[in-house]
Amino acid sequence: MSTEERRESDTGEKKDKAEAIIAEIQGRITKAFDIFDHENNKTVDVREVGTIVRSLNCCPTEAELHDILTEMEEDEPTGYVKFEKFLPVMTTILMDRRYKPQPEDILLKAFQTLDTENQGFLTSDELQKYMMKEGEPFTQDEMEEMLSAAQDPDKGTVQYKDFVGLMAVEES
């Protein structure tokens, strides 16, 4: 095989691999979108987009999510996002690996910073104070959902070393 033929073969293999990766990503996007397409009409309620995006292991802030929605929405907002607008935006986001979740060690350091007495836990009251008043505040529903997963019901504390393992997302 000549050098030119080898180069063409390598280029073809790389193209096939890239197309396979894109197809796999678009399959994941389609599957996630379809779960929320309750009417089976290739649209989802705009309020569900954040949940879909996060189910794809993207963790945008609310401001970043607003920017994503602006890209996806029609010129005249209808309250729905069409699949044909959702797919290319999310494909680009996933291909560019934007809005990646924080790794476990960074999450642990964040909790340790809040744990000024180095106890290895935060009380539910402390965690609520931080999560609902600082940075990008949680809603009451989000806080209740978090505490239901994180809180030791007997002690009313969050053993954050255990909890960060639940929060961390494996790279795919």
* pLDDT tens profile 79-131: 999 999 999 999 999 999 999 888 889 989 999 999 999 999 999 999 888 88
Residue 63 and residue 25: Cα distance in Å, rounded? Answer: 24
Three-state DSSP class for residue 154: coil
Q: Could you tell me what percent of the chain has a pLDDT over 70?
A: 91
Please name the residue ranges forming H helices in 37-158: 49-55, 62-72, 83-95, 104-114, 124-133, 140-150
| Tokens representing residue 109 in the block | 């350091």
State which amino acid sits at residue 32: A
* pLDDT tens profile 39-70: 999 999 999 999 999 899 899 988 899 999 99
Q: Residue 96's pLDDT is what?
A: 93
Q: Residue 102's pLDDT is what?
A: 84
Task: Report the sign of the C-alpha dihedral through residues 112, 116, 63, 80, in that order.
Answer: positive
Which domains, ranges and CATH numbers included, belong to the chain?
A: 3-95 (1.10.238.10), 104-167 (1.10.238.10)
